Amino acid sequence: MIHRTKQQIVMTKDIILRGTIFTLLLSLFLFSGCSSNDDEITPLTYVTIVENNPQTDGFDFPIYSGEMTGWKIPPNPSVTYDEGSFLVHRDDGIHPAIDFFREDGSSAEGYELWSIGDGVVVDIVYDREAYPSKWDGSDRDEGWGNLILIQHDYLENGVNNRIFALYAHTKTIEVELNDVVQRNQLIGLVGKTDGVSGTVTWPDHLHFEIRITNITADSWPKSSGLTTDAEVLEHWTHPLDFVSEHRP
């Protein structure tokens, strides 16, 4: 015969209660884990446009020395598949950038990144590992690492036009938010901060975008529900074509 004292019964109830609370917390944890997966769509968010930003007199390419000699230019994705091409369709959605690697296969680490024109720094994301003291605690660096977004204004056919240049995975960030920068000014170094997609870890390269709208630095087409070329082209343009057509 089992004889339980009052104290034993209270302890048993306590254990059952603790088990129930643990199960509830575990369910909440698992549920929240599922709701923040990669397929979740969040609307685009925007940075504040800087008015009266001095116009740049033209654009150079983003890596020292302002030309792309020695850098591999990815092919047109309609001709040859290349993960680094503009508008290539990948597992993580449409790639709205060009990825620059060295043509001879050597490491791109540490090459100087230059501002493509006069402009103003409108968004910066600090990578949690590269800049732990400056990281804002958000997940904006996930998949991106360090990010620098610069607004450029320029005159075309008598009217002010505006684009936004994005430099991703940089090793360092040599500018501050709201800094006014000049064409060919050093803004960071080529790196591979958080250059991971799925199981692939990318070597050092520059992921370079030109946006025509003021979306935040960490904007990504698939995450925002943009799944067609036409939808992406509402916010992005071909970065090399743009620079080629707007030399000083």
| Binds Zn ion by CB under 5 A, chosen from 68, 94, 97, 206 | 97
Q: Please state whether the peptide bond connecting residue 35 to the residue before it is cis, i.e. omega within 30 degrees of 0.
A: no
| Binds Zn ion by CB under 5 A, chosen from 207, 222, 238, 246 | 207
Whose Cβ is closer to Zn ion: residue 97's or residue 173's?
Answer: 97
Q: Which amino acid is at 2?
A: I
Give the contacts of 231 (CB within 8 A, at least 6 positions apart): 221
Residue 88 token pair: 């290539």
Whose Cβ is closer to Zn ion: residue 154's or residue 164's?
Answer: 164
For the CB of residue 237, give the shortest distance to Zn ion in the complex, in Å: 15
Residue number of the CB closest to Zn ion reads 207
Size of the residue set binding Zn ion (CB under 5 A): 3
Residue 57 token pair: 């007199």
Instruction: Mark 39-78 with x for binding to Zn ion (rule: CB under 5 A) and - for no binding.
Output: ----------------------------------------
> Is residue 218 near Zn ion by the rule CB under 5 A?
no
Residue 191 token pair: 């790196």
Instruction: Enumerate the β-bridge partners of residue 186.
Output: 114
Q: Strand 88-90 vs strand 93-95: parallel, antiparallel, or unpaired?
A: antiparallel
> Is residue 99 near Zn ion by the rule CB under 5 A?
yes
Contact by Cβ (8 Å): 122, 47: yes
User: What is the binding site for Zn ion (CB under 5 A)?
Assistant: 97, 99, 207
